[in-house]
Structure 1
Amino acid sequence: FLARLILAGIIRKRAAVNLIFDMHSEYGWEAASEDKHATTVKGLRQLFPGQVQIYTLDPDSTRRRGVRDAQELFIAYNQIEVEDLALLAEELNLSEASLENAIILRNEFGRDWISRLLSLSNTEIQEFCEQKMGNKASMMALQRKLTRLDNLKYIRNTLPHNYIGQILDALSRGIHVVIEFGSQSNLLSYMLAANVITRRIHQAYVHQTERYLQSKNPLDRPRQLCITIEEAHRFLNPRAAKQTIFGTIAREMRKYFVTLLVVDQRPSRIDSEVMSQLGTRITALLNDDQDIEAVFTGVAGSQNLKTVLAKLDSKQQALILGHAVPMPVVVQTRPYDQRFYAEIADPDWSQAEDAEVLLAAQQAKSELGL
C-alpha cells in the first residue's frame, strides 16, 4: 500500500516514468483490500487509465482476474545472456563449471547458444567438448537444468516481435508500464524476466544519454525512469549486486536518468554499498536488529533515529529520511480509499498535498524535540 501511494504520487507529479515489476499482481489493475468493507482496491491503471499500461507474462491469469487491455509479453532464449544465468545460479543449482561452459557455448554460437545447447544430443555434446575444450559432465548438467526454463510460459525459442522495444517505446512516450507475472511469480521466473528486461532497457538509456550529451538537444534528453523491484535483496545481495543490472544502476546514482525504487522487507540482506547509495528511505516499523542497522547505513545520528523507528505504530506510520526531506520526518500515511481516489484525480491535488506534507513535517519536528 505504501509503495502504491508513492508510485501514484510520482505519476501525478510527473516526476518520472515508471517501470514496475509487479511480482504479485498488486500494482496494475487492482489488489486485495485491508478494509473489511471492501474486497479490492484500485491499482494504478484504474487511477490513471490513460497513463498506465499493463504487460503480462501470464495472459491467462491476467484475463481470469478481469484485467482489460493488458499486452502480452514474451522473452526469447536469444535475449538471455550468461550474466542472467549467473544471477540464477542458486535457483537453477548451476555450478561455476556450468557457467564457464555456458561462456564457451556463447563464444561459439553467439546469441542462439541456449537453443543450440538444448537441441544437442549426448554424442554432439561429446564432440563439441572435445573440439572446444569443454567439460562434458558440466555441459550436460547445464543442458538438463536449463530445460526448467521451458516451464516458464513467457519463454519462446524465437520471437517475430520485439516486446522489450515496445515497452521502451511506451516509456519514451511517458506511459508508465506495469509488468505482471500472474502464476509465473516464482523467484526463478521473476528474477530472470526482471533482469533481462531491465538490462536491455538500461542499455537503451545509456545510448540515449550519450546521444543527448553529444547533441545538447533538449529533445534528445531521456525521460527520468524509475524502476520498481520487489524482493530487492534477491538482486542486490552482496554477491548478486556485483553482477546484476540492478547493482549497476544503484552504483551509477542516476547517471543515465535511471533510478530504483527498492521494495524489501529484509534490508539487512541488501549489499551495504547499495544501501549507502539509496538517496531517500521510507521505512515502516522493523523488529529485526540487523534490518534496523541496515536501514541507517551511512546515516549520521542513527542512534536517535533507531529510537524513533522503534516507536512507530505497526500500521500507517513511516520514517522518511534522505534527499527528499530536509530532516528525518515521521509521517502518518494516508488511507488508500475512496477519498484518495478522488483527490489523486483533482487538478489542485499537488497544492493540497504540499500543505499536508508541510504540516506533517512541523508535527514531526515538534515530536522529535527539534
Structure 2
Amino acid sequence: MTAELLSDLNPFVPGDLARLRRDGLPARLGVVIGGSLNDGVLVKLDGDVMVEGVNVGSYVTIKGQTDRKFFGLVTDIRLDTTDAALAQSPPADDDLRMEIYRGTVAYGVLHVKPMLVKEGQGEAKPVKSVPAHFTVAYRATPEEVQEIFAADERTAYRIGASVEDENIEIKLNLERFVERSSAVFGRSGTGKTFLTLPLLASVIRRDLASVLIFDMHNDYGYTLKGDGGRKLKGLKQLNAIRQKVVIVTLDEASSKARGSRPEFALQIGYDQIEPEDIEMLRGVLSLSDVQVNALHALKRRFPRAWVRQLLSDDVPPEVQALFDSNKIVEGTYYAMQRKLGRLLKFDFLRAETTEDFAERVLNHLTRGESVVVEFGRYGNDLPAYVFVANFLTRRIHRRYVEMKEAAEGGGGEEPNKLVIAVEEAHKFLEPGVADLTIFGTIARELRKYNVTLLIVDQRPSQIDAEVMSQIGTRITCALSDERDIAAVFTGVSGAQQLRSVLAALESKQQALIMGHAVPMPVVVRTTEYGEAIYRQFADPLAEASPEARAEINRKKLGRRPLDEGLV
C-alpha cells in the first residue's frame, strides 16, 4: 500500500488533517470497547488510523448515545491483538500480511480519561458517568478545544498553545488563579521563571492582586538572563505595568552592578526582630527546641534589646540572673550566641534603622502596587533568604488579618488580594516545618485573609502533603524524580492516569496545567518569553476591555460619562 493511499485514509497525516479541519469535519479515531469512570475508557482505533499519529495528552471527544458529548484526554496508548500467536510469529517480512493484519487482528488502543461532559447546548460539567460501548471517539477539533478553554477576556491569560496545534490558544482564568494558592513546578532548566514572570505580569496588569516576589536569583525585577546569556526584560521594564512595580533590594552594590533601579534598600533593625523570625531558621542554623525556648525567655527579659544583648560579649546581671534561676542554661546561651553570630555578616541587619522598612513594603502592597525583593549576593545564602522572607511575610500577613477582620466588623475597607511568590518553597513548607511557618498557615487558610502563595519549586516531593493538597492550580514542567512526579498529583483525582502525560513532557516550553484556573488538565507549549510578550505589555490599553478603554480615555481627556459616544 502506497504512502499516498495511506495519507488519504489516515486522519493524522498532516495534509489530510488540515483538509478535514478546513471542511469542518472531525477526525474519527475509533470506538469505545470498555473502561470505567475511575480508570478512563478504552478506545479501539479504526484500521485506517495510525497509532503513531496519536500522542499522550491529545484531546478526544466521544459522542454518547444521547446528545451528550464527553471531552477527554489521552493518557496512554497500547498495542493489542486478537491472536496471541501473532506476537510469537509476526509477519515481519511480508508487507501485504502486515497491512492486512494492522488495524484488524493487530490494533491500537487509547486510554482516554473523560474529564467533562456537555449535554446539548449546556455548559461543560465534570463527568459522573462514562460513554456506552461502541460510541464513537473523535479527535477534538480546534473549535471544541477553544470552547472548553474559553474565558472572560478581562480575566483570561494566554499561557500558550496546544501541543497538537499552535493555532489553538490555551487560556487560564487569572481571577480563579489568584483565588487560591498555586504552584509552578519543574526541574532546573525547564523555564519556570520564563513561565512565571509573564503570568504574574498579567495578574498585575489586570489589577487582580498585588504581588510580592521574593526574588532569590534576581530574575523578576529589572532584567533576567535568557538562553545564551542574552538579557531579557524584568517586570519593571514592561511598559504597561512599570508604574505598578516597586523594586526593593537587600544588596545595593549588586543591584547597581546589574543596572537595576531599586526604590530603596531594605534594612532590618535588631529591635524589630522577634523570636518567631529566628525560629524559622532552626533547620538552617541547627537550633534545638531548648535554644528556641531560650530565645523567648530573652525576649521577655529584654523586649526591645534581646538580639543586641545576645550578640553582645557582655553578660549583664540580668542575664546572669537567668542563668542562676535555670531559665536559660549558660551553655545554651553561648551556643545560641555562636549560631546567631552568623547573622552579623548580613549588611541589611542593623543595630539601628532610620525607619520601619517592612511597613514601607506593606504600604506599597496595600496601595495596590507590587513589590520585588531582590536578594543580590544573599540569594545564594539560604539563612538570609529564609530569614527575610519569613520576617516580611509574618508582618504582612498579620496586617492583612487585622484589615480583614476590621472590614468584616464594619471598621474599614477589605484589603486587596495579595499573591506572595516564593522560590525554593520547600525550605518553608517541608514536613515537620510547614505547621510552624507563616507560609504553611497561608497555604492552609485558603484565601481566608486575601493572601495566597505562588510556590515556585523543583522538589515538590519535599513539600508537606497537606500543603500540596491545598494548592488550587498546578503548572508543572518536566520532572525527573519519581517522588516529585508522584507529589505533584497529591490530592488530584485521576492522578495515576495523568502521570504518563507528565512523564511525556519535553524538557523545555511544555507544561501540564491542572486545577482551579482551568476546566480540565491541559498540556501546553508555553509562549516563549521575549519580543512577542514585550509587545503585549507595550500598550497599556492592548488587553483592556472596551469599557475599560473608554473609562481610561475619559480620565485622560477629562470627559464625563455623558461624553462616552465621543470616545
TM over 0.5: yes
Q: Deviations over 1:143-181 (max 9, x none)?
A: 121111110111012223011111111111111100000
> Which of residues 177, 199, 203 is equivalent to 1:10?
203
Q: Distance in 2 between matches of 1:199 and 1:69?
A: 23
Q: Distance in 2 between matches of 1:168 and 1:15?
A: 17
In structure 2, the residue matched to 1:135 is 329
More helix by share: 1
User: Is the counterpart of residue 162 in structure 1 residue 356 in structure 2?
Assistant: yes
User: Is the counterpart of residue 152 in structure 1 residue 346 in structure 2?
Assistant: yes
In structure 2, the residue matched to 1:205 is 400
Structure 2 SS opposite 1:262: strand
Q: Distance in 1 between matches of 2:326 and 2:356?
A: 33
Q: Distance in 2 between matches of 1:225 and 1:115?
A: 33
User: Is the counterpart of residue 182 in structure 1 residue 373 in structure 2?
Assistant: no
Structure 1 SS opposite 2:457: coil
Q: Distance in 2 between matches of 1:13 and 1:136?
A: 56
1:111–1:275 distance in 2 versus 1, CA, 3 Å: farther
- Displacement of 1:8 in angstroms is 1.4
What code does the residue aligned with 2:236 have?
Answer: R
In structure 1, the residue matched to 2:147 is none
- Displacement of 1:200 in angstroms is 0.3
Q: TM-score, structure 1 length as denominator?
A: 0.90
Asked whether the 8 Å contact 1:23–1:190 carries over to 2, the reply is yes
Q: CA RMSD in A?
A: 1.6
- Displacement of 1:119 in angstroms is 2.3
> Which of residues 249, 262, 280 is equivalent to 1:87?
280
Q: Distance in 1 between matches of 2:279 and 2:415?
A: 30
Q: Distance in 2 between matches of 1:208 and 1:214?
A: 10
Structure 1 SS opposite 2:475: strand
Structure 1 SS opposite 2:372: strand
Aligned positions of 1:223-238 closer than 5 A = 223-238=416-431
Asked whether the 8 Å contact 2:198–2:533 carries over to 1, the reply is no
Q: Distance in 2 between matches of 1:297 and 1:128?
A: 47
Asked whether the 8 Å contact 2:459–2:484 carries over to 1, the reply is yes
Percent of paired sites with the same residue: 47
Asked whether the 8 Å contact 1:79–1:196 carries over to 2, the reply is no
In structure 2, the residue matched to 1:44 is 235
Aligned positions of 1:205-354 closer than 5 A = 205-215=400-410, 220-346=413-539, 347-349=541-543
What code does the residue aligned with 1:209 have?
Answer: K
- Displacement of 1:122 in angstroms is 4.9
What code does the residue aligned with 1:188 have?
Answer: P
In structure 1, the residue matched to 2:389 is 194
What code does the residue aligned with 2:392 have?
Answer: I
Q: Distance in 1 between matches of 2:336 and 2:428?
A: 22
- Displacement of 1:216 in angstroms is 7.4
1:247–1:69 distance in 2 versus 1, CA, 3 Å: closer
Could you tell me which runs of 5 or more consecutive residues in structure 1 were left unpaired when the two chains were aligned. 352-370
Q: Distance in 2 between matches of 1:45 and 1:133?
A: 50
- Give the stretch that moved more between structures: 5-14 or 306-315: 5-14
More strand by share: 2
Structure 2 SS opposite 1:168: helix
Asked whether the 8 Å contact 2:249–2:262 carries over to 1, the reply is no
Q: Distance in 1 between matches of 2:303 and 2:367?
A: 33
Q: Answer with 1 or 2: which has the greater Rg.
A: 2
1:312–1:52 distance in 2 versus 1, CA, 3 Å: same
Asked whether the 8 Å contact 1:153–1:184 carries over to 2, the reply is no
Asked whether the 8 Å contact 1:84–1:244 carries over to 2, the reply is no
Could you tell me which runs of 5 or more consecutive residues in structure 2 were left unpaired when the two chains were aligned. 1-193, 546-567
Aligned positions of 1:85-124 closer than 5 A = 85-122=278-315, 124=317
> Which of residues 246, 252, 256 is equivalent to 1:59?
252
In structure 1, the residue matched to 2:222 is 29
Q: Deviations over 1:33-80 (max 9, x none)?
A: 12x4x7110000111221111000111111111112431111122222
What code does the residue aligned with 2:356 have?
Answer: N
In structure 1, the residue matched to 2:178 is none
What code does the residue aligned with 1:152 have?
Answer: F
- Displacement of 1:127 in angstroms is 4.2
Q: Distance in 2 between matches of 1:112 and 1:329?
A: 54
Structure 2 SS opposite 1:110: coil
Q: Distance in 2 between matches of 1:262 and 1:164?
A: 22
Q: Distance in 1 between matches of 2:349 and 2:302?
A: 19
Structure 1 SS opposite 2:279: helix
- Give the stretch that moved more between structures: 341-350 or 247-256: 341-350
In structure 2, the residue matched to 1:20 is 213
What code does the residue aligned with 1:291 have?
Answer: D
Q: Distance in 1 between matches of 2:293 and 2:233?
A: 47
Structure 2 SS opposite 1:119: coil
Q: Distance in 1 between matches of 2:296 and 2:406?
A: 31
Q: Distance in 2 between matches of 1:194 and 1:106?
A: 21
What code does the residue aligned with 2:351 have?
Answer: N
Q: TM-score, structure 2 length as denominator?
A: 0.59
